[in-house]
Amino acid sequence: MHAIGAIWPGDTTFAPVTLVGTHSVTVIPTTTSLFSSSNPSNAGSQITLTATVSSTGGTPAGSITFSDGGSFFAGVPLSAGVAQYTTSTLAVGTHPITASYAANGNFAASNASLSQVVNGTPSAAAISAAPNPAYVAQNVTISGSVTSASGTPSGTLAFYDGTTLLGTVALSVRGKASLLTAFTSAGTHNLTLLRSGRHLQCVRSIRG
């Protein structure tokens, strides 16, 4: 707020006059937009967050603060009104990402947000049983493997006969696990794999 005054000193005909007024000058409004290069993305994959600050009164300077659910993870200077941050460390889940522009010089603060969805890395599984068919009470080796284009999955494999858990085995460095078991009833047994609690595939039946 600026106080503005005008004074008329008067002359031989008119008396002096003093005028006082106010004039408001505000900072220039800005608009921030936020864009993700891949949304949804997969765990471990690289994404680039791009924040753009625009204004009708010129190109804002300063920096952008990127945060995830209120937790700061990057401060990036603006270049021609744009700031970018690249990461591959976001965990599986939904992330409320915010890009905040602090007031700078003649430019007002603004912010933008988006929900970044990070999915688990896609994987494929295979399961086999030997011998198949087998006799009741005969030892059967059930083998499972998990593969992914993003590397070798880790964790555990849980082997199920229908809804009955047969056993849980840690995955090897090659993404494989096997279980020795025997079936106590004749018939067709539908075998299912679960990796660390996530359903993968049901691909084999064994006949008792």
Q: Go through 98-112 and write b for each residue having 16 or more CB atoms within 10 A of its CB, e for each that does not.
A: bbbbeebeebbbbbb
pLDDT in tens, 121-167: 777 888 899 998 889 999 999 999 888 776 777 788 899 998 899 99
Peptide bond preceding 16 in cis form (omega within 30 of 0): no
What does CATH list as the number for 124-207? 2.60.40.10
pLDDT in tens, 37-72: 999 998 888 999 999 999 988 899 999 999 999 899
Q: How many residues does the chain have?
A: 208
Here the tokens at position 120 are 């688990």
- CATH fold, domain 31-119, is Immunoglobulin-like (2.60.40)
Distance separating alpha carbons of residues 28 and 25, to the nearest angstrom: 9
Distance separating alpha carbons of residues 79 and 73, to the nearest angstrom: 19
Distance separating alpha carbons of residues 3 and 23, to the nearest angstrom: 6
Domain ranges of the chain: 31-119, 124-207
pLDDT in tens, 73-122: 899 999 999 999 999 999 889 999 999 999 988 999 999 999 999 987 77
